[in-house]
Structure 1
Amino acid sequence: MMIESAEEFKRLRESEAQDEYFRAAHDEAPIQIWEEVLVKYPDLAVWVAHNKTVPVAILEKLAVDNDPKVRGMVARKRKIPESLMLQLAKDEDESVRHALVNNRKVTVAVLQVLRNDSWQVIREVASDKLSALTSKSSGR
């Protein structure tokens, strides 16, 4: 199924019916609909980012949202390109960087940036992941 309007997305997201709530997280919508949701219902931005089908172009807009919860949701997305990961690796909010370092698809280049993070927890996770990746590639 396809989400046909910003109002439909809002209704699905706020629905008590589990199947409608599920649709808000899994159904596709044209890029213009996602843009309309963000204009009309900015408080739903985190749920736009949560949607499994949301295009990278929308995630790029959400990566600069004022709300760190929205940026953190973007940082968790496995489909974001490395360029967006590198941008989020320098985010001012440590919760965003923490979400990114725990992204299963985080790249070596991003981990190398996060290895020098101001927060020790992020530095340690990044270093551990880099060590695991290098020991895998060397066949140890």
Structure 2
Amino acid sequence: MRSELYTYRDEQGTELFDLPDIPLPTTNASAPPRFLPEFDNLLLAYVNRSRIIPAPFHSSVFLTVGRVRATFLVDGFVAGTWKVQRAKEIAKLIVEPFELLSKSIRSELLIEGERLIHFLENDAKSFEVQFA
């Protein structure tokens, strides 16, 4: 299929393949914040995870006994972790950023987090998103 694919080289010179006629994003294109579940393939599928998660935060995501925490992405990079706390009829999404987030990013995460907590805990009576 080589002749049917478009090829690129990454920073290390490794050959990469892509579908033809698919536009690549511009270098300054931003990716919206996204929440990833525990053990997400995006974190597990790569030998070199530095393209997704900065090295200082590996130990905050990859825990002992093979556990992998739920994370969130900001502009395509892991920027923190999240968890759900449920107390009776109240469902709370706890967002734990690794570093200080701008107001605009916090606002985008809040919107996405509200969607997530409503999806995960749809039988709750009350929903909250809290930044730790």
TM-score w.r.t. the length of structure 2 is: 0.29
Higher relative contact order (CA 8 A, sep 6+): 2
- More helix per residue: 1
- More strand per residue: 2
TM-score w.r.t. the length of structure 1 is: 0.28
